[in-house]
Amino acid sequence: MSQAALDYLQPLETRTRGMAVLDALADMVERSGLKIGDRLPPEVSLAATLGVGRSTIREALNRWEGLGIIRRRRGDGTYLSARVQTSRGLVPTMVRLEGEALLRLLEIRRTLENDVVRKATIKATREQRQEISRLCDALLVEVYAGRPWRKADHAFHGAIYDASGNPMYGQLLVNLDHALERGGSSPFAADVFGLDSFPIHRDLADAILAESPDGAVDAIGRIIDVVEREVQAIIDGDKSS
């Protein structure tokens, strides 16, 4: 089955290292009928059929692995672990696949974040609560000034992870983000992505400051709700420009 899938590939006109390889692989998976659990053709076969270097294929598969689309078994091969369907509308296939991976990530984050903000609200010292509030103010200043805000956002959420008393929360959540690194051209990496969620960060900080675990859980839930809706809008083509 995996070798037969190669019939759905054609050599690329140029040695493209980017989206063309990923789009070709997505088209191959869909047209050949590969399903979750099926093995992909070997890297060397994919490279030869597309007319690109093996390192180019490896880079593309690394991207898919980060998105949770494939999993590798050492000495056995590469297996499909998520549904792949090419786009039929204006949204590029990889943007949609990236968005779907983000939605899966947000589902995991919701469970972890609910627990971490509840614990942080209960366990935080007075000084930690004040620092969380201060970092939220600093974050919103950057956001409303239209300046890069990611460093301030990491500092704010990092202070909450620290206040939870369990450093594993922060490590897990950072590792999840790193596993799903977005390229500079991705709409999910743009500074405007997720902006609508920032006013709710103030609600989260205020709930922790007020020692209200339920309020903190409600706020983090609303933050994730906003981001999920924005991801879905991009996938649907409503905010793809």
Q: What residue segments make up the domains of the chain, in order of their start?
A: 4-80, 93-236
pLDDT at 82: 87
Residue 86 CA: distances (Å) to CA of 25, 27, 61, 126, 138: 10, 6, 16, 51, 41
State mean pLDDT over 110-125. 96
Among 34-43, 182-191, 228-237, where is mean pLDDT lowest?
Answer: 182-191
pLDDT at 17: 57
Distance CA 96, CA 16 (A): 20
Q: Which fold has domain 4-80?
A: Arc Repressor Mutant, subunit A (1.10.10)
Residue 169 pLDDT class (50, 70, 90 cuts): confident
Residue type at 73?
Answer: R
Long-range CB contacts (within 8 A, 24+) of 39-44? 39/1, 39/2, 39/77, 39/78, 39/79, 39/80, 40/2, 40/5, 40/70, 40/77, 40/78, 40/79, 40/80, 41/2, 41/3, 41/5, 41/6, 42/2, 42/77, 43/78
Task: Note the pLDDT tens digit of each residue in 150-166.
Answer: 899 999 999 999 999 99
pLDDT at 8: 62
Model confidence at 240: pLDDT above 70? no
Residue 221 pLDDT class (50, 70, 90 cuts): very high
Among 27-31, 44-48, 87-91, 132-136, where is mean pLDDT lowest?
Answer: 87-91
Residue in 46, 14, 42 with CA at minimum distance from that of residue 28? 46
Residue 187 burial class via C-beta count within 10 angstroms: exposed 0-12, middle 13-18, buried 19 and up:
buried
Q: Which fold has domain 93-236?
A: Four Helix Bundle (Hemerythrin (Met), subunit A) (1.20.120)
Instruction: Name residues whose C-beta falls within 8 Å of residue 40's C-beta, 6 or more positions apart in sequence.
Output: 2, 5, 29, 34, 46, 61, 70, 77, 78, 79, 80
Residue 96 burial class via C-beta count within 10 angstroms: exposed 0-12, middle 13-18, buried 19 and up:
buried
Q: Among all chains, which residue has been given the structure tokens 């879905």?
A: 232
